[in-house]
Amino acid sequence: MSAEALDSARKLDDGAVGTLALGDLSVRRLGFGAMRISSARNPEGQLDRAEAIALCRRVVERGVNFIDAANIYGYGACEEILAEALYPYPADLVIGTKAGFATVRLEPGMRRLPADGRPEHIREQCEISLKRLRRDVIDLYQIHVPDPNVPYEDTVGAFADLQREGKVRHIGVSNVTPEQLELARSICKVVSVQNRYNIGTRDSEAVLEACEREAMAFLPYRPVILKDTPADALVKEIAQAHGAPTQQIALAWLLAHSKVMLPIPGTSSRKHFDENLDAAWLKLDPAEIARLDAVAAQG
């Protein structure tokens, strides 16, 4: 089905992509990554909070009921915008957020924030996220990254303590190896894993396989960024045949690849969000999937 043929107002439902369990919560298998909402811009190219709010509302209006956030996205603005746009929240909306990076500004030459998995930092950030999101309980609280300077069991233990106190409903992990995942699972129930994964980047295949064995949701971040990978040219070819944007092919493949896959493509644009979501109705034929599987194996 071509992009032009799709109704941009079509609402995502359980039948379009199926659902996944996050503990006792059920979400549709195509979510929204909110990292970039604080950079939404108006037609003149200026940062526009009203546009960010309109984008968040569009996400929910079209039937997405899982949103992925983090305390560091927009230095807190991401969580604040979600609350401003959506509170009081729809009953079925699940918001996940994260902690585990230092909440400092990037300095010149820094490519990423340093990790901070100290239990006292995690506890402090949980309270801040609860306040920003206007929640009493965080639906899904994710360990953003292991801190090489803090034993991982101490960081995970802090999340488990928050869960026992009733401030966190479910726990997820991110940027983990299979060994780190198993360590986390020995301390608490883990309902989801968020690692980088797409057709061209499959370093986390073993983690995905563990999620399939244990019925944990797998949230691939950067799901459509294929530049400079062997998959890029083939995805463009198949997209042209469907008359669809390339990101729809990448997302359709992820949905077909594993039943525990929960892609969370992000954007700061309502137009791009609509294009991403319409991947729910794009069906790849078996020959296309086989070709994509073959090139994915090279990733």
CA-to-CA separations, 66 to 128, 207, 292, in angstroms, rounded: 21, 21, 27
Radius of gyration of the chain (CA): 19
Residue 4 lies in a domain: no
Distance CA 115, CA 99 (A): 9
Which H helix or E strand runs over 89?
A: none
Structure-block tokens of residue 103 = 């909440």
pLDDT average per 10 residues of sequence, the chain (299 residues): 54 95 97 96 92 98 98 97 98 98 87 94 98 98 98 98 98 98 98 96 96 98 85 93 96 97 97 96 95 84
Instruction: Write down the pTM of the prediction.
Output: 0.95
Which tens digit of pLDDT belongs to each residue from 6-64?
456 799 999 999 999 999 999 999 999 999 999 999 888 999 999 999 999 999 999 99
Residue 9 lies in a domain: no
Distance CA 73, CA 133 (A): 13
Residue 2 lies in a domain: no
Residue 141 lies in a domain: yes
Cβ neighbours of residue 28 closer than 8 Å, sequence gap 6 or more: 12, 13, 14, 16, 17, 18, 19, 20, 63, 64, 65, 66
Residues acting as catalytic residues: 73
Cβ neighbours of residue 154 closer than 8 Å, sequence gap 6 or more: 117, 118, 119
The DSSP bridge pattern shows strands 66-68 and 19-22 to be unpaired
In the chain, how many domains are there?
A: 1
What pLDDT, on the 0 to 100 scale, is given for residue 297? 81
Residue 8 lies in a domain: no
Matching residue, tokens 């909306």: 93
Distance CA 187, CA 169 (A): 15
Structure-block tokens of residue 244 = 């669809």
Helix (H, G, I), strand (E, B) or coil at 31: coil
**DSSP-derived secondary structure letter, 106:** P
Residue 42 lies in a domain: yes
Distance CA 256, CA 204 (A): 17
Distance CA 271, CA 119 (A): 40
- Asked, as a colleague might, if the bond just before 88 is cis with ω within 30 of 0, I would say yes
What pLDDT, on the 0 to 100 scale, is given for residue 160? 98
Residue 290 lies in a domain: yes
CATH number of the domain to which 165 belongs = 3.20.20.100
CA-to-CA separations, 296 to 125, 250, 253, 293, in angstroms, rounded: 37, 11, 10, 5
Distance CA 261, CA 241 (A): 25
Residue 168: other Cβ atoms inside 10 A: 23
Residue 6 lies in a domain: no
Which tens digit of pLDDT belongs to each residue from 78-97?
999 999 999 999 999 999 99
Q: Report the side by side order of strands in the sheet with 94-99.
A: 32-33, 66-68, 94-99, 138-143, 168-174, 190-196, 217-221
Expressed as residue numbers, the domain containing 188 is 14-296
